[in-house]
Amino acid sequence: MPSSQIADYEIGAILGVGTVGTIYEGTEKCTRQRYAIKKLHPGVSSDKLIRARFQREMTILERLRHPNIIAYYGGGESDDGLLYYVMELVEGGTTKEMIESNGHLPWQVVVDVARQICSALQCAHNHGVIHRDLKPGNLFLTKNAVVKLGDFGIARDLNSSDLTAAGLTVGTHAYMSPEQITGDALISGKTDLYALGCCLFEMLSGRKPFLGENFAQLFEQHLRQNPPHIRELVPQCPEELDNIIDQLLEKDPENRPFNARTVQAVMLQLGEKYDLKAEVGADGQSCDVGADAVTEKGRQILKQQISNRLHGREQPQVSWSRLVALAALIGGVILAATLLGSRN
């Protein structure tokens, strides 16, 4: 039986169980605020590489303080000698679940989601952190449709030594850039931008850009084939959005947008051009201010979709919390470990 307490937190229900750890609901004793607590399994706690990755993830999250990144609240070793850390409990689901529920997301929603992801990515890249596993399942949502980037378990910290052996590829096959597939040591923020292109394509169309039946086919497609233009699948999608997705999915990193901020600027321009500003309330005031308001209409649509989804479940809080926790646990596992050359 696990301890009923870790530091100042009372341990509640198990939210998810993964290969290397368990995530519990935790309640801070004084404030009664609820959190998610990720704790290593006893069976892997002595594995030096797993411990190193867990500690690296904690270090990264501690540095990345941003409204669109899952918040980190500290960690350490529990009384039973197991590593743990405390993080924000996000209960709105993920973009993956929203795609599955709705088939696809309206392009107005995708513009706002992309704006928020780009803000998170730019923060990470400014700190020398490459996520390396950007995908819809790692894009968490609050009930107010704020996007939170999570799962930095296989992130590359350019300020520290790499924990991935040379010649190995890491990531999720459907979203891996050509340079990840070839085991290129010179990955950069543009690696995440390629994955962002895959995510936006999937959000808009409801399908991934490449449909290989196994990792070998997917790798070949990522390396040598071009996906269809998004407007071929979603004719109502603005041409500008189609164009930026094409640029994000360029095989050569040099041909992709300069950085996440460049992509974010395109989303803001789309918001201006297509009048996606915040709706005006009964008091004559907009629902939001600043740059966020430019794409607020998309967030309002997504907020309603999240509410519909949550109210349609028998136990929405537990179900969504488990979803977030299970996706976060993926950070302890290298989803692809393929030696350079084995892709053929």
Q: Are residues 39 and 133 part of one domain?
A: no
Helices 95-102/296-311 angle, 10° precision: 70
Residue labelled with tokens 């928020």: 116
Whole-model pTM over 0.75: yes
Q: Are residues 103 and 72 part of one domain?
A: no
For 166, how many CA atoms within 13 A lie in the half-sphere containing its CB?
Answer: 1
Kindly give, in sequence order, each residue whose CB lies less than 8 Å from that of residue 187, ignoring residues fewer than 6 positions away.
130, 132, 156, 177, 179, 180
- Tell me which residue range forms the domain holding 119: 95-280+290-311
133: annotated active-site residue = yes
pLDDT band at 286 (very low <50, low <70, confident <90, very high): very low
Lowest mean pLDDT among 4-8, 14-18, 104-108, 122-126: 14-18
> Is the pLDDT assigned to residue 278 strictly greater than 80?
no
User: Helical H runs in 21-106?
Assistant: 48-63, 95-102
Q: Over range 276-284, report the average pLDDT.
A: 58
Q: Over range 240-260, report the average pLDDT.
A: 98
Q: What is the dihedral of CA 175, 57, 69, 253, to 10 degrees?
A: -40
Q: Please indicate, yes or no, if residue 267 is contained in any of the structural domains.
A: yes
Say which CATH number the domain at 299 has.
1.10.510.10
pLDDT tens sequence across 30-65: 999 999 999 998 888 888 888 988 999 999 999 999
CB count within 10 Å of CB 48 equals 7
> Is the pLDDT assigned to residue 158 strictly greater than 60?
yes
Percent of the chain with pLDDT over 90: 67
Q: Are residues 103 and 28 part of one domain?
A: no
Strand locations in the chain (E): 5-6, 9-17, 21-28, 34-40, 72-77, 83-87, 129-130, 139-141, 147-149, 156-157, 168-169, 338-339
Number of H helices, E strands in the chain: 11, 12
Lowest mean pLDDT among 200-209, 221-230, 282-291: 282-291
CA distance 85 to 51: 12
Kindly give, in sequence order, each residue whose CB lies less than 8 Å from that of residue 181, ignoring residues fewer than 6 positions away.
169, 219, 222, 223, 343
pLDDT given for residue 3 in this prediction: 64
Q: Please indicate, yes or no, if residue 52 is contained in any of the structural domains.
A: yes
Q: Are residues 75 and 120 part of one domain?
A: no
Kindly give, in sequence order, each residue whose CB lies less than 8 Å from that of residue 137, ignoring residues fewer than 6 positions away.
94, 95, 96, 327, 330
Quick one: CA dihedral 266, 271, 272, 278, positive or negative? Answer: negative
- Is-contact 96 136, C-beta < 8 A? yes
pLDDT given for residue 169 in this prediction: 66
Lowest mean pLDDT among 53-67, 87-101, 161-175, 237-251: 161-175
> Is the pLDDT assigned to residue 288 strictly greater than 70?
no
Catalytically annotated residue among 112, 133, 151, 157? 133
- Is-contact 250 222, C-beta < 8 A? no
Q: Are residues 82 and 108 part of one domain?
A: no
Percent of the chain with pLDDT over 70: 83
pLDDT tens sequence across 74-104: 999 998 889 999 999 999 989 999 999 999 9
> Is the pLDDT assigned to residue 315 strictly greater than 50?
no
pLDDT, the chain, mean = 86
Say which CATH number the domain at 13 has.
3.30.200.20
Task: For residue 215, give the amino acid letter.
Answer: F
Instruction: Give the chain's domain count.
Output: 2
Q: Are residues 103 and 60 part of one domain?
A: no
- Is-contact 127 105, C-beta < 8 A? no
Q: Are residues 127 and 40 part of one domain?
A: no
> Is the pLDDT assigned to residue 272 strictly greater than 50?
yes
Q: Are residues 133 and 25 part of one domain?
A: no
CA distance 219 to 210: 9
Q: Are residues 72 and 23 part of one domain?
A: yes
